[in-house]
């Protein structure tokens, strides 16, 4: 080429990032495990586009999300927008494909969303979410299934010490109704939702100052919110009677919690992986019943890694037919950060366990044949991609994290053998390919 080109500086946008091989492999493995768990419960995947008509994704009157949108006019003059969550597209999907899907309908979706927020530690403008929902039913059985999925997902990833906190919006609504504060419920929930972050005292003062509740009204909510702390379900049910009998809403709320607890207790879980906790509120407006949050007991400061709840009307922007359902969402990035913190993820730069070296170009075909024999026994095996100095190939294995290195000289090739070196123990042996495969499988 004769024209002199100006080089472009390689860079990503603010709030966007690349995943290096170790991170990307760990994330992919995490997602595979989640998929397996969802599918074991009969949730199948669906896909919706990353880009949608803006009016499908937002109601122009809504403020907060609107400002964060990646919204533009496409070449055909359409007002389009990158999705900011998986929930709104799912609502559209459920209405648009109603006849093909039938009800009830269960699905999971794992996908990338976009929000132009100010990036913070662990928060990106492009982020991955993983949602699972059961729609078309309003049952304790569905609520209980969501809890089981959360538990199974965490156990599969090696997380043992966690608490699924469960509440029911109907109770708080009923209490507010009883004291003539129905209109304030969204604000009350928004403030109570911060309790883990800012503490009881600040919640109390926010309720007093921001909402101008009376000190007695605040007491009522704070008493309720702190009622469940450290108590078993049965204890909570027995001391909470005064709330339960307040009105229809609280009655229904407690009834749903009792039903859920009965199903979960029937599973004979020998642990206390779930508890009823009146202090969780969830920020989102569309929840109308049972709500969930999941806390890692050793890392509560990370916040909830899987949250969700029951809603009455997911699809109200698209259809007059109600679509009740229940679902939850795993924060992929947050969960990965937590797993790293807990040393439950080993970052490896390569999925291969074995590196077959190449000292001599003439023996290349033999190297590839050896590797293919390892692969035939399900051992991921890489051939160093060119003949090179052995030192360089050892450095490569060292950096990437292979467990075994295979050395092939002329003598080995002639004898149809290979030398295998265990990179942890530094032991090495010259063996037939079959013997070497067996040895590797033992580790």
Pattern 148-167, binding to a second copy, x per CB under 8 A?
x---x---------------
Burial of 234 (0-12, 13-18, 19+ CB in 10 A): exposed
- Provide the mask over 287-316, with x wherever binding to a second copy is found by CB under 8 A and - wherever it is not: -----------------------------x
What residues between 223 and 282 interact with a second copy by CB under 8 A?
262-263, 265-268
DSSP-assigned states of every residue in 335-400: HHHHHHHTT-----S-S-SEEE--S-GGGHHHHHHHHHHHHHTT--EEE-SS---HHHHHHHHHHH
Alpha helices in 157-247 (DSSP H): 169-178, 185-192, 195-209, 215-227, 233-239, 241-244
- Which residues in the 395-414 window bind a second copy by CB under 8 A? 396, 399
The strand pairing partners of 113, in sequence order, are 127
In the complex, least distance from residue 359 CB atom to a second copy, rounded to whole angstroms: 12
Q: Measured from the CB atom, is 125 or 204 closer to a second copy? A: 125
Determine the Cα–Cα distance for residues 103 and 97; give it in Å rounded to an integer: 11
Contact indicator for 105, 294 with CB cutoff of 8 Å = no
Q: How far is the CB of 93 from a second copy (least distance, A)?
A: 6
CB of 235 to a second copy, least distance (A): 21
User: Which residues lie across from 20 on neighbouring strands?
Assistant: none
Render the burial of 142-164: b for 16+ CB within 10 Å, e for the rest. Answer: bbbbbbbbbbbbbeebebeebbb
Binding segment toward a second copy, per CB under 8 A, in 35-43, 157-165, 206-214, 279-287: 35-43
- 138 touching a second copy, by CB under 8 A: yes
How many residues at the interface with a second copy, by CB under 8 A?
Answer: 114
Say whether residue 28 binds a second copy (CB under 8 A): yes
Verify binding: residue 285, a second copy, rule CB under 8 A.
no
Q: Determine the interface stretch with a second copy among 90-98, 201-209, 237-245, 416-424 (rule: CB under 8 A).
A: 90-98
Which lies closer to a second copy via its Cβ, residue 257 or residue 279?
Answer: 257
Backbone angles phi, psi at 184, to 5 degrees: -85, -5
Nearest CB to a second copy, comparing residues 76 and 230: 76
Near a second copy by CB under 8 A: residue from 85, 145, 277, 293: 145
Contact between residue 296 and residue 273 where contact means Cβ atoms under 8 Å apart: no
Query: In which region does residue 85 sit, left (phi positive, over 0), alpha (psi from -120 to 50) or beta (all else)?
Result: beta
Task: Name which position in 34, 130, 144, 154 contacts a second copy (CB under 8 A).
Answer: 144
* Cβ-based nearer residue to a second copy, 202 or 392: 392
Beta bridge partners of 261: none
d(CA 315, CA 431) in angstroms, rounded, equals 64
**Residue 182 contacts a second copy per CB under 8 A:** no
The verdict on 35 binding a second copy (CB under 8 A) reads yes
Structure tokens that stand for 61 in this block: 């009157």
For residues 246 and 179, the answer to whether their CB atoms sit within 8 Å is no
Q: Is 24 exposed, middle or buried, given 0-12, 13-18 or 19+ CB atoms closer than 10 A?
A: exposed
> Which CB, 96 or 422, lies closer to a second copy?
96
Task: Please select the residue that binds a second copy; options are 102, 121, 215, 424, rule is CB under 8 A.
Answer: 102
Q: Which is nearer to a second copy, 221 or 394 (CB)?
A: 394
The answer to whether residue 202 forms part of the interface with a second copy (CB under 8 A) is: no
| 435 touches a second copy by CB under 8 A | no
Interface region with a second copy, contact rule CB under 8 A, candidates 138-146, 183-191, 334-342, 420-428: 138-146
Is the alpha carbon torsion for 52, 55, 57, 58 positive or negative?
A: positive
76 binds a second copy (CB under 8 A): yes
Which residues is 128 bridged to in the sheet? 112
Q: In the window 346-365, what residues touch a second copy (CB under 8 A)?
A: 349-352, 355, 358, 361, 364-365
Which residue in 369, 403, 422, 423 binds a second copy (CB under 8 A)? Answer: 369
Residue 196 or 288 having the CB closest to a second copy: 288
């Amino acid at each position: 080429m004769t024209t002199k080109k100006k080089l472009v500086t390689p860079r990503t946008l603010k709030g966007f990032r690349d995943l290096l091989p170790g991170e990307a492999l760990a994330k992919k493995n995490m997602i595979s495990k989640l998929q397996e768990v969802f599918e074991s419960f009969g949730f199948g995947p669906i896909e919706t586009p990353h880009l949608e008509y803006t009016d499908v994704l937002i109601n122009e009157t809504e403020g907060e999300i609107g400002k964060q949108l990646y919204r533009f006019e496409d070449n055909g003059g359409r007002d389009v927008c990158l999705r900011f969550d998986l929930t709104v597209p799912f609502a559209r999907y459920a209405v648009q494909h109603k006849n093909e899907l039938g009800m009830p309908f269960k699905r999971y979706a794992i996908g990338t969303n976009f929000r132009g927020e100010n990036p913070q530690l662990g928060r990106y403008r492009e982020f991955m979410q993983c949602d699972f929902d059961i729609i078309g039913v309003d049952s304790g059985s569905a609520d209980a299934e969501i809890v089981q999925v959360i538990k199974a997902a965490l156990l599969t990833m090696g997380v043992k010490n966690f608490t699924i906190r469960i509440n029911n919006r109907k109770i708080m609504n009923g209490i507010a109704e009883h004291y003539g504060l129905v209109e304030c419920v969204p604000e009350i929930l928004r403030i109570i939702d911060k309790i883990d972050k800012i503490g009881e005292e600040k919640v109390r003062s926010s309720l007093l100052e921001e909402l101008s509740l009376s000190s007695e009204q605040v007491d009522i909510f704070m008493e309720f919110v702190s009622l469940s702390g450290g108590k078993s379900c049965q204890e909570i049910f027995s001391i909470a009677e005064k709330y339960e009998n307040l009105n229809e809403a609280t009655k229904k709320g407690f009834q749903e919690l009792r039903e859920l607890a009965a199903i979960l207790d029937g599973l004979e879980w020998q642990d206390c992986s779930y508890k009823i906790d009146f202090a969780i509120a969830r920020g989102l407006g569309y929840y109308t019943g049972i709500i969930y949050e999941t806390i890692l007991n050793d890392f509560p400061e990370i916040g909830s890694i899987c949250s969700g709840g029951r809603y009455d009307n997911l699809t109200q922007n698209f259809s007059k037919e109600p679509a009740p359902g229940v679902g939850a969402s795993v924060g992929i990035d947050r969960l990965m950060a937590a797993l790293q913190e807990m040393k439950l993820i080993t970052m490896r730069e390569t999925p291969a366990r074995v590196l077959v070296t190449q000292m001599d170009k003439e023996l290349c075909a033999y190297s590839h044949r050896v590797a293919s024999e390892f692969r035939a026994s399900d051992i991921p095996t890489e051939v160093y991609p060119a003949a090179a100095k052995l030192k360089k190939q050892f450095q490569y294995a060292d950096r990437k994290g292979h467990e075994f290195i295979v050395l092939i000289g002329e003598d080995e090739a002639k004898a149809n053998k290979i030398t295998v070196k265990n990179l942890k123990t530094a032991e090495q042996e010259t063996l037939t390919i079959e013997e070497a495969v067996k040895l590797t499988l033992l580790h």
